[in-house]
Amino acid sequence: MEDNKMNRREAIDKLAHIITSEDHNHLEDPTTKHPKPPFNKQFQPFPGLAGKMEPVPDHGETSYVGSGRLKGRKALVTGGDSGIGRAAAIAFAREGADVAINYLPEEEEDAKEVIKLIEDEGRIAAAIPGDIRDESFCQKLVSEAVSRLGGIDILVNNAGHQKSNESILDISTEAFDRTMKTNIYAPFWIIKAALPYLKPGSSIIGLSSVQAYDPSADLYDYAQTKAATTSYVKSLAKQLGPKGIRVNGVAPGPVWTALEVSGGQTQENLVKFGEDTPLGRPGQPAELASIFVQLADNSGSFATGQIYGSAGGSGQP
């Protein structure tokens, strides 16, 4: 009897050693996992293409592995051609969801790659180009996504406009209007259009930022919109909670996206982009993908009105 106990204990100890060793072999140092500054100066006309960046961002094209967490779900992602929206769209598809992405017509080259990645997973992919600064288009966007996917139960308001300006005096009314329309008006219009289709269990995810908590001097207008996003997430969560619809937000820190090389950062700041985080580098879109999956998944059913931070050690949410 004593020998049997000893054998079982030895077997358990051996298994624990194997598991520990395997886990150790798969550990990844976050400080060296992705490219670190200095980066080369590079500029693209707005809105920019991820495929032309150096280095090209990692959206999870080869790294994200799904496990069926969103099987049968239907998602609409604005700004789904590149950046964080692209990472979310790829992850959703690999978790079993059908996905519609919105983007500007100038971003067609990036969007085609995303559509193919979604279809490679055997999921329905709907490409819906257009400018969300137009209310009528926002309404059309939702109705077309519902028609082509057969419904909608995940809405990600990811698309955003960011332009660095040294002084408030450098921001024209037209430029200010573009930032407000893209970042604040569009989610308002899209959510209103989508609500009649959202059933209990549906999820709305907004894109906030560390800029909502610690705004940069040169992002005066953009930072305001991210503070507003944080507020609408918390307000709408209270309004829609009784209906069984969850509303949450994601607040990234510096993330390597086309937004930054098309006017979101000065060329001087781009060279050292992300170096002031404790991890010493910017994030890659793929590193945020699992957060969007968790917020959309039924397993996250008690999370609403929350802002999930991912900022490399900076930020406050």
User: Is residue 222 annotated as part of the catalytic site, yes or no?
Assistant: yes
Give me the pLDDT at residue 74, please: 98
Instruction: Look at the block and give the residue holding tokens 């592995």.
Output: 65
Query: How does DSSP assign 122-142, residue by residue?
Result: T--EEEEE--TTSHHHHHHHH
Instruction: Please give the Cα distance from 34 to 51 (Å, whole number).
Output: 17
- pLDDT at residue 24 above 70? no
- pLDDT at residue 11 above 60? no
- pLDDT at residue 12 above 90? no
- Of residues 103, 220, 222, 308, which has the active-site annotation? 222
Give me the pLDDT at residue 300, please: 96
The Cα diameter of the chain in Å comes to 84
Higher pLDDT pick, 259 / 317:
259
Per-residue confidence band for 10, with pLDDT thresholds at 50, 70 and 90: low
Per-residue confidence band for 21, with pLDDT thresholds at 50, 70 and 90: very low
Per-residue confidence band for 29, with pLDDT thresholds at 50, 70 and 90: very high
Query: How does DSSP assign 39-89, residue by residue?
Result: -------TT--GGGSSSPP--STTT----STTTT-EEEEETTTSHHHHHHH
- pLDDT at residue 123 above 60? yes
Per-residue confidence band for 317, with pLDDT thresholds at 50, 70 and 90: low
Per-residue confidence band for 19, with pLDDT thresholds at 50, 70 and 90: very low
Q: Which of 186, 161, 187 is nearest to 174 (CA)?
A: 161
* Sheet (strand 74-78) strand order: 125-129, 98-103, 74-78, 154-157, 203-207, 246-252, 307-310
Domains and CATH numbers, the chain: 63-310 (3.40.50.720)
- pLDDT at residue 113 above 50? yes
Out of 16-30, 171-185, 222-236, pick the least confident.
16-30
- The 10s digit of each residue's pLDDT in 126-151 is 999 999 999 999 999 999 999 999 99
Give me the pLDDT at residue 136, please: 98
Give me the pLDDT at residue 26, please: 85
- The 10s digit of each residue's pLDDT in 73-91 is 999 999 999 999 999 999 9
Instruction: Please give the Cα distance from 230 to 213 (Å, whole number).
Output: 9
- The 10s digit of each residue's pLDDT in 96-105 is 999 999 999 9
Q: Please give the share of the chain, as a percent, with pLDDT higher than 70.
A: 92
Alpha helix locations (H) across the chain? Answer: 2-25, 83-94, 108-120, 135-149, 173-180, 186-194, 220-240, 258-259, 267-271, 289-296
- pLDDT at residue 15 above 50? no
Out of 180-189, 254-263, 289-298, pick the least confident.
254-263
Whether residue 231 contacts residue 206, with contact meaning beta carbons closer than 8 Å, is answered with: no
